[in-house]
Amino acid sequence: MNRFEDRIILVTGAGSGIGQATVERLLAEGGQVLALDVSEAGLKVTEERAREAGAADRLTLITADISDEAAVQDKIGGTIAKAGRLDVLVNAAGILRSEHTHKTSLEFWNRVLAINLTGTFLVTRECLPLLLASGRGVVVNFSSTSASFAHPYMAAYAASKGGIQSFTHTIASEYAKQGLRAVAVAPGSIASGMTNTPGIPADADFSLFAKMSPAIGEGFANPSSVAGVIAMLASDDGAFVTGTELRIDGGTHM
């Protein structure tokens, strides 16, 4: 399939995990991908994988912190302006931090929301003019199963993802008549750097996680399982999907 051969896509969080897998999938389907991450090392891995797949010529790397408004305006704004158009935005960048809520500092809380929620807003705001100009723009935001189901010790993370979910509904409604679609994915039970090291407190009650295993498969799924869904939603195959969220967790929260 070459569902993206005539499209330019920006993917944040492209240096690891689901973001990196999404870049690989969209390149495999013919897309021209602008891959952004705060980690240069991570982006180098993404670039090497694209080179091995023979798709490096359709990959552009952007290093920036999405919580920094000036960096978003300079790095992302400059890159998409040079490209001249943008068809799809995938906001995959985010961090997962865990702590007892009563021990959560304001600095800790603000940092998680600054990257996950405010970063998603800043990147989306920067990209909206070109997405609207395309007439068929798509925004895929990353919520989480934590936005709707109890994930202990993750109050800041869950709040940020709930905010992203609400933000997605808002822009879907606000810009629908201009041809924009906005959808959120809510991954859960996915193996990535984020979930491998969530920083659960040493004195955590692990019995609280008893109902957080997928019902299908043999443990956490590969990030590619989410990337395939994102490709569907961002393509014309998802043309009638907007203003909603799709849970991708192997039945963890049935």
Instruction: Give the span between the Cα atoms of 62 and 43, in whole angstroms.
Output: 8
166: its two tokens: 């609400």
Q: Within 13 Å, how many C-alpha atoms sit on residue 106's CB side?
A: 0
CA dihedral 170, 176, 180, 186 (to 10 degrees): 40
CA dist., res. 165 & res. 144, Å (int): 9
Q: Which residues contact 150 (CB under 8 A, 6 or more apart)?
A: 208
Cα(172)–Cα(118) distance, rounded to whole angstroms? 18
* Residues labelled catalytic: 157
183 backbone dihedrals φ, ψ, rounded to 5°: -135, 145
CA 76 – CA 36 distance, rounded (Å)? 8
Cβ proximity of 161 and 188 under 8 Å: no
The residues, any chain, with a CB within 8 Å of residue 123's CB and separated by 6 or more, are 10, 12, 66, 72, 76, 89, 91, 93
CB distance 10 to 211 below 8 Å:
no
Nearest to 63 by CA among 23, 24, 31, 35: 35
